[in-house]
Amino acid sequence: MVKRLLNCYASDFEKMTKEDLKQSIKASEGRTILSENVVSTSASPGLTNSEIARAFGADLILLNGLDVMKPEINGINNEENPIHYLKKLVGRPIGVNLEPVDESAVMAEDKLDISKGRQAFKETFEKANELGFDFICLTGNPGTGVSNKEINKALKVAKETFNGLIIAGKMHGAGVSESVVDLEAINEFISNGADIILLPAVGTVPGVTQDMVMEAVRLAKEKGVLTLSAIGTSQESADPATIREIALRNKIAGVDIQHIGDAGYGGIAPYQNILEMSRTIRGDRHTISRISGSNAR
């Protein structure tokens, strides 16, 4: 049996299989934090955003805006594989957003075109394996035109191609006119191989209630799948009191992982808010452990 993530250090993560990581998160009972970071900028020159997130309590790091065919991360230079080097720096599991763009989607806003290396294809899944990612997230940034239909198509390919955990779902509309919390779509995500279902955090997307999220969480738990609530609506840069309320409401809803987005200064949530989320969902005892534990352990 694996250790719960709350008690894991860098050396523990190095030995984990994807199933070990999944069980480690489950055993932490809703006390896991995922920080999403933009890779093209940094809140502190000379450092990666991932190092900042890890320093203030993040357990998992999700890279946003990374072209896996040309992987470049602000704060890392002259490294043949920047992902392997980033893992040494942060001692945490690392994932990447890959976006299943729907070219036929009915858009609610102007469509934003992104590079092929940021999209969800067999080739990008293979490249994610080569780079050593622990998980991928099949979701959409604002305006990119990611749909539930295309997430399901990508899931089938990812399940056959990618070696790590697969997160799937929408944290907001991604520019597409469709429901963000759709139980039928979630059922399909699970059937097609999702390990973790992504849901908008209660208090972020208009009309997404705590009851809706709780129902989705119950469905996922019945199927042995984890859940993640996402703050992807720029509220990650609100005041700490807002983060505290969102964190508590989504812990009550039963999610396994709480995501905090990248829309703060420099492409990362304000460090105070990552810390506030940690203190809210697991208290000072575990927060101190997460921010203090050396990567040499």
* Least confident segment among 59-73, 82-96, 98-112, 138-152: 98-112
Angle value at C-alpha 30, between 26 and 31, nearest 5 degrees: 105
Q: Average the pLDDT over 186-202 and give the result.
A: 95
CATH class belonging to 5-292? alpha beta
- pTM for the model stands at 0.94
pLDDT of 116: 93
Place of tokens 């999209």: 119
pLDDT of 170: 83
pLDDT of 69: 97
Record the tokens describing residue 136, joined without a space. 């991928």
Confidence of residue 238 (pLDDT cuts 50, 70, 90): very high
| Strand, coil or helix: 122 | helix
Per-residue pLDDT tens digits for 142-154: 666 778 888 999 9
Q: Average the pLDDT over 185-200 and give the result.
A: 95
Q: Which residue has the higher pLDDT, 174 or 187?
A: 187
Query: Is 107's pLDDT higher than 70?
Result: no
Per-residue pLDDT tens digits for 23-43: 999 999 999 999 999 999 999
Confidence of residue 101 (pLDDT cuts 50, 70, 90): confident
Q: Average the pLDDT over 261-270 and give the result.
A: 95
**In the chain, domain spans:** 5-292
φ, ψ for residue 294, nearest 5 deg: -70, 150
Query: Is 110's pLDDT higher than 60?
Result: no
* Least confident segment among 24-28, 36-40, 104-108, 170-174: 104-108
DSSP for 148-211, please give it.
HHHHHHHHHHHHHH--SEEEEE-SS-TTBSS-SS-HHHHHHHHHTT-SEEEEEPTTTSTT--HH
Q: How far apart are CA 153 and CA 158, in angstroms?
A: 9
Per-residue pLDDT tens digits for 245-258: 999 999 999 999 99
Q: Average the pLDDT over 79-96 and give the result.
A: 97
Burial label, 195 (beta-carbon count in 10 A; 0-12, 13-18, 19+): buried
Burial label, 222 (beta-carbon count in 10 A; 0-12, 13-18, 19+): exposed
